[in-house]
Each structure stands twice: as structure tokens, then as C-alpha cells.
Amino acid sequence: MEIKILGTGCSKCKSLEKLTREVVEQNGIEATIVKEEDIMQIMKYSVMATPALVVNEKVVIKGRMPSAEEIKNILTR
């Protein structure tokens, strides 16, 4: 599984990256996590509000900070 955190470096973007890494580690999920800060790359996903969470090239959350439980549910379904 490939997970991308889209964000230009704001505090919410950093928090989403940290929380996602914690959820992956705590639940033994096999995944590669990439933090994408390049605005041109972010725009390729049609994301206008960050942070955003992309799983296997599909935008699953954008413009808000999800809970750990929500991230876990997305990654384990």
C-alpha cells in the first residue's frame, strides 16, 4: 500500500503525517508513506485544500484533519 500525505508544510499537514505513521505502526499495516510538499504535484490530485490523504493514488481525505480511528478504518478496509 502506498500512502501519500499532501501538504505544503503547515502544522495540520505535519500532524496528519505523524498521525498516519502512528496508525500504520500501531496496527501493523504494511505501507510506504510519502510526504508530498510540491504544490505542482499536489495539484495533480485536484486538491485545493490541504492536508490530504492519498491511498494507492486515490484521494480519500482532503481539507481536514481526520481522527486516528478514521485513518485506521480507511487503511484496513
**Domain limits, the chain:** 2-76
6: left (phi over 0), alpha (psi -120 to 50) or beta: beta
Backbone angles phi, psi at 33, to 5 degrees: -110, 130
The predicted-structure confidence for 14-47, as pLDDT tens digits, reads as follows: 999 999 999 999 999 999 999 999 999 999 999 9
Contact 6, 48 (CB under 8 A): no
Residues labelled as active-site residues: 10, 13
* pLDDT given for residue 59 in this prediction: 97
Q: Per residue in 40-67, pLDDT tens?
A: 999 999 998 999 999 999 999 999 999 9
Angle, helices 11-26 vs 68-76, to 10°: value is: 60
pLDDT band, very low/low/confident/very high, at 9 (cuts 50, 70, 90): confident
Which CATH superfamily is 2-76 part of? Answer: Glutaredoxin (3.40.30.10)
